[in-house]
Structure formats: C-alpha cells, structure tokens
Amino acid sequence: MKVIKTDIDGVVIIEPTIFNDERGYFYESYSQREFAEKVCDTTFVQDNQSKSSYGVLRGLHYQKPPYCQSKLVRCIKGTVLDFAVDIRKGSPTFGKHVAVELTEDNHRQLFIPRGFAHGFVVLSKEATFQYKCDNFYNKESEAAIAWNDSTLAIDWRIPAEDIILSEKDKQNKPMADSDDLFDFTVNLY
C-alpha cells in the first residue's frame, strides 16, 4: 500500500496495491501489520457501512472524549467527496480541511485521526461507504459542526439546493459556537 501525506499532519490517503487480470482485480483492503508500520499503531474495533443517494451529506461528525474515534474510510460503490476538518484548538491547521474523492474505481482510503470532524457528500447516483473506527460508538458523545460553516470554506462540489441532510444535521452549529472542540494535545490515535 502507498501512503500519501496531506497538508494536515496525521491525515493520510492510502492507495492499495491492485492486482488486475482478465478476471477482474484483487487487493488487500486492510492489513493491521502494514497499517501499523506505515500509518500508526491503532486497533480498529468497529466497522460501519452506509448507503446514500446523490446529494446526501453526512457530517461534519465527531465523538467527544473519552469516546473520540480515528476512522479509516472508503467508498466501495459510487463516488463520494470526503472531508477531514482539524478541530484541535491550538493546532497550526485548526479549521483547515482535507478533501479527497473516494471512488469504487480508485480504491483510495482516507485515515482521519482523533481530533478531526468528518463528513462526506455523495457525488454519484448512489454510493456505499464503509469505515473502520478505533473506538466504539457512544450516543452521548456525538457532536457535529454545520456543513455550511462559512469559516471552513468547504467546497462540497454540488449546489447547496441539492444537499440532503438528516434532521439532526440540519441543527448543527458553526465551529465558533462549539464548546466541545479538542485540545491540540489530544492523542491522535
């Protein structure tokens, strides 16, 4: 696997080694040993999957300590535009984001450490999205930032009128109004 650094320390793009032949393709989507050697030593404890249609935007979500999560995300069908937003107060990249197009064809994955909000929007007719988490989900620890927070300057690449949000995500507040952001010293893994 190839690990590509981004403009934000700790957030990396992973490109698997793909073996193609007349039958199709094969690749190792995850190896604990190789991930520990090339990215970080963490243990994923929960896998999640969602299916969404064009314009569905999920995010920008995170879990507060002690239930914060690192995530390894990928799109196994369709195309999504995926985002990691640094919400670590005091970080030199606080409020900055990384955007990566994840598709069923490029097989890329994005690793998002703890201390980041995460979200994605579906660019294809339909998408199936999978992610691994290094901590279990905890409902009381849920938190989120508004997808359209102007201070984040996120280009979701589709018209705002095409965005489809859950009722809960419609209530998310801008980052400046969040009192549960992370401290820069948060352990990323």
Catalytic residue among 62, 107, 118, 131: 131
What's the distance, Cα to Cα, between the start and end of the chain in Å? 20
Catalytic residue among 30, 54, 61, 67: 61
Tell me if residue 160 falls in helix, strand or coil: helix
Q: How many residues does this entry show for the chain?
A: 189
Q: Identify the residue whose tokens are 């879990």.
A: 63
Active site residue 61: yes
Buried b (16+ CB within 10 A) or exposed e, 113-145: bbbbbbbbbbbeeebbbbbbbbbeeeeebebbb
Instruction: Kindly state the DSSP code that residue 117 receives in the 8-state scheme.
Output: E
76 burial type by CB count under 10 A (0-12 exposed, 13-18 middle, 19+ buried): middle
Active site residue 107: no
Radius of gyration of the chain (CA): 16
| Residues belonging to the active site | 61, 131
